[in-house]
Amino acid sequence: MFTDENGVTVRRTPLLAVVTSLLLGVLAAPAARSAPAARFAPAAFAHPGVTVSQGQLDFARGKVLAGAQPWKGAFDQMLASRYADPARPPTSTSPPTATCRRPCPART
């Protein structure tokens, strides 16, 4: 609080709060508008769970195509797996309640 030239006591707290709020709003507004929302998916798919680079995948592919071991043997084992069958339907082994964020739908 302070007293102005007319002897009126003025409280700074409300004024400071208003000025601070306005200043923060003005500073935050350009940041909120700077990144427009994407309308389309990116042209190249990047799987979030894959932790190898394209170079590493190309290297392994070259080894498999050349028949080099152990790459070719591991690739053949993968293809022989029942889990590699393209016709295999996707399934989940976890109960539905483990993945539901909202009330789970009735089981059918």
User: pLDDT tens string for the chain (108 positions)?
Assistant: 667 777 777 666 766 677 777 777 767 766 556 566 667 766 777 666 678 888 999 999 999 999 999 999 999 999 999 888 888 887 766 655 555 566 666 665
Decide if 67 is inside a domain. yes
54-66 vs 71-80: helix crossing angle, rounded to 10: 90
Decide if 65 is inside a domain. yes
Q: Can you give the pLDDT at residue 21?
A: 73
Decide if 106 is inside a domain. no
Domain count across the chain = 1
Decide if 70 is inside a domain. yes
Q: Which residue has the tokens 């996707």?
A: 90
CB 66 within 8 A of CB 58: no
Q: Can you give the pLDDT at residue 32?
A: 56
* Residues of the domain holding 56: 52-80
The CA–CA distances, whole Å, from 92 to 1, 39, 84, 89, 95 equal 66, 31, 16, 10, 8
Q: Can you give the pLDDT at residue 102?
A: 61
**Token pair in block for residue 89:** 């339907």
